Amino acid sequence: MPVRKRKRGPKACDSPTAGGCKHPTSSPAPPAGGEETRPTILPLSTENLREFERMTSTPPTPTASKPSTVTSKSISAREVRRRLSTYRIYADKEDVFQPTSAIRIFSEGIVHGERNSPGLSNAEQTNISTISCRMQDEAEANVMDAIVPLLFPLPEIVFGRTNLAKNRDVEFLPNRVPTPSTTANSILTLALDAAGCLKNPKPDLCFGYPKSAFDDDSQRDFNDMFLNLTGLSRGIYHPFMIVEWKSSATGGTQYDAQNQAMRSGAALVSARLDLFLRINEIPPPPTETCVFSCTVDTYTANIHIHWCEVDEASGARSFHMNTVSDVMLKRPDEVRRLRREIENIMDWGLDVRLVKTKQVVALAGDLLTVRNEGAKKRKRVII
């Protein structure tokens, strides 16, 4: 009897993949209706031909590349000094600080003047020199915390109350660094555009007067209304001295500190000059608008005077900073001299400068009151 052969099903896949067997185990099901499906072919109409031509002729849109991040390098201290000179802010120009010049005689008379107070004792001046050597590897903030209380005296008492105010690391009001007039001077306009905007001043220390130093209501009102002239540094009216501090351990130098002092000093002098011009069209002598600064690094301290020269013909302003005194902090006798010179500046600020400031502010306040009353009368007449 013949043996019938059994029909075998399809072979199983010998090498199944992770996605499952790729070989079908059964025939695909026929399409519905028993008809074979064919790919759709668009008719060759005019519209389809135009669309095909547009798709093949239009270049592909390029993918926008991600812009690279460019880190701007900090400019050198020398370049900062050059930009300051473009703004007509200068340092240590000998031609304007001759031994016979009024501003030099004035500043040296204040800084180097004799005083009755003993200043620092021998132990105190030795202590400052020792701390200065010990702090040579410290950051700027640590050096300031250690030395500032020893170099700068506590607020002195005048007429029974404190008339000296100071703050620390407070930024000035914006846009107060003076910019020279570019009227009919296209070359200067291009130079200022190339130099760019100067950084806003933010001195490490700023000394001036508290609000309580001005008794009269008109003086207080004027100070509050015209902060751009009277209160560039928050909480202080009419600053007359600033301090810029640098740590040599973190790369700071006297040159850097002086660049910062040039900006701060020019802003203060410009504001005081504008205050005087509110009561008189003729600019006052530089001794009326000058301010002082002290630049300090780990090893040295310099005292500077800042003032403005106004050209009589054109009215152009140039701002100057010149060194009046310099000391080495490692030498106790020079540290004592520095402390005495700082106290001399404070005495001048709380005496001669404060009296003159009160007079100018009172006069400016009175003029403002007269103008306001005149405006009210004119308004009544119009009504």
pLDDT tens-digit readout, 313-323:
888 899 999 99
Question: Comparing C-alpha atoms, which of 332, 362, 354, 329 is closest to residue 156?
Answer: 354
**Phi, psi (degrees; rounded to nearest 5) at 254:** -60, -40
Alpha-carbon radius of gyration of the chain: 38
What pLDDT score does 307 carry? 97
SS3 percent helix, strand, coil of the chain, rounded to 5, is: 45, 15, 40
Structure tokens at 234: 């928050």
Judged by phi (left if over 0) then psi (alpha if -120 to 50, else beta), residue 81 lies in alpha
Is pLDDT above 80 for 329? yes
Is pLDDT above 60 for 210? yes
Instruction: Tally the C-alpha atoms within 13 A of residue 291's C-alpha that lie toward its C-beta.
Output: 26
What pLDDT score does 110 carry? 95
pLDDT tens-digit readout, 1-44:
555 555 554 444 444 444 444 444 444 444 444 444 444 455 55
Integer Cα distance of 82 and 366 in angstroms: 42
Integer Cα distance of 333 and 266 in angstroms: 31
Q: Tokens 């105010």 identify what position?
A: 165
Higher-pLDDT residue of 381 and 227 is: 227
117 vs 66, 162, 324, 340, CA distance in Å? 67, 18, 21, 9
pLDDT tens-digit readout, 262-286:
999 999 999 999 999 998 888 999 9
pLDDT tens-digit readout, 51-75:
555 554 444 444 443 443 333 357 8
Give CA 248 to chain center in angstroms: 21
Q: Tokens 């009544």 identify what position?
A: 380
Question: Helices marked H in 204-295 — which ranges?
Answer: 217-225, 227-230, 254-277, 286-289
Question: Helices marked H in 152-285 — which ranges?
Answer: 186-195, 217-225, 227-230, 254-277
The contacts of residue 350 (CB under 8 Å, 6+ apart) are 156, 158, 163, 164
Please, what is the angle between helix 77-86 and helix 254-277, to 10°?
A: 20
> What are the DSSP E strand ranges found in 130-204?
157-158, 161-162, 165-168
The end-to-end CA distance of the chain, in Å, is 136
CB 201 within 8 A of CB 176: yes
In a 3-state reduction of DSSP, which class is residue 104? helix
